[in-house]
Copies of this chain bind each other. A is one copy, B any other.
């Protein structure tokens, strides 16, 4: 599953991210409602973990906006122990479940697994971009019916492109997908992986924009 974590407490955010990641899900961690809103615009999540007290507003505002826009992505609220009124208001605003801070990480896993289970049995969501049918949950790619095998790093890069097909991605953005945020990379690793992806996905799948970056050819322009 792909999960959006909206949490501005650094320690908790890291713990949650690591736990969910170990459970085999992909996590995008943002620390404000602003980033959360832009994230849901560009990416489709299977689950959103939402803290309520955030630097630029209250989580309910985000949740209400989301539901008003017809988005039915499951949302689990992360809230402090005694704010009972919040819990009720949250259910009214469209939350699916609660986790009361401080919560055990195994409890978190259980809730997330429960949401994952609800998806089980349904066919995986398959995204179509250009020639490709991509099963995001399963990391499977078909190009004109032919399966394509990618390594972990290659997939990480490709996934980055998928989230913004046709949009220009800078080298720095791509590096951030492969390594820890802000890790300095001195060699031409990105170029090498672009090359490898092209060999597997087809020469024209990724377009070089000289001096700027790369973009995935999506054919819908």
B contact residues around A140 at 8 Å (CB): 221
Is A167 an interface residue when CB atoms closer than 8 A count as contact? yes
Is there an interface contact between B44 and A117, defined as CB atoms closer than 8 Å? yes
Contact of A111 among B42, B120, B182 (CB under 8 A): B42
Is there an interface contact between A152 and B212, defined as CB atoms closer than 8 Å? yes
Interface hit among A64-72, A79-87, A102-110: A102-110
Assess A42 versus B97: contact at CB under 8 Å? Given A106-B181, A211-B152: yes
Shortest distance from the beta carbon of A175 to any chain B beta carbon, whole Å: 10
B contact residues around A41 at 8 Å (CB): 97, 114
What is the bound-complex CA distance between A172 and B116, given in angstroms? 14
Shortest distance from the beta carbon of A50 to any chain B beta carbon, whole Å: 16
Q: How many residues of chain A are within 8 Å of chain B by beta carbon?
A: 47
Interface of A is mostly: mixed
Is there an interface contact between A210 and B24, defined as CB atoms closer than 8 Å? no
Most buried by B among A42, A167, A168, A171: A42
Is there an interface contact between A181 and B139, defined as CB atoms closer than 8 Å? no
CB within 8 Å of B: which A119-151 residues: 120, 124, 137-140, 147, 151
Shortest distance from the beta carbon of A218 to any chain B beta carbon, whole Å: 11
B contact residues around A213 at 8 Å (CB): 24
Is there an interface contact between A110 and B22, defined as CB atoms closer than 8 Å? no
Is there an interface contact between A173 and B23, defined as CB atoms closer than 8 Å? yes
A residues at B contact (CB < 8 Å): 22-24, 28, 39, 41-44, 97, 105-106, 109-111, 113-114, 117, 120, 124, 137-140, 147, 151-152, 163-164, 166-173, 176, 181-182, 209-213, 215, 221
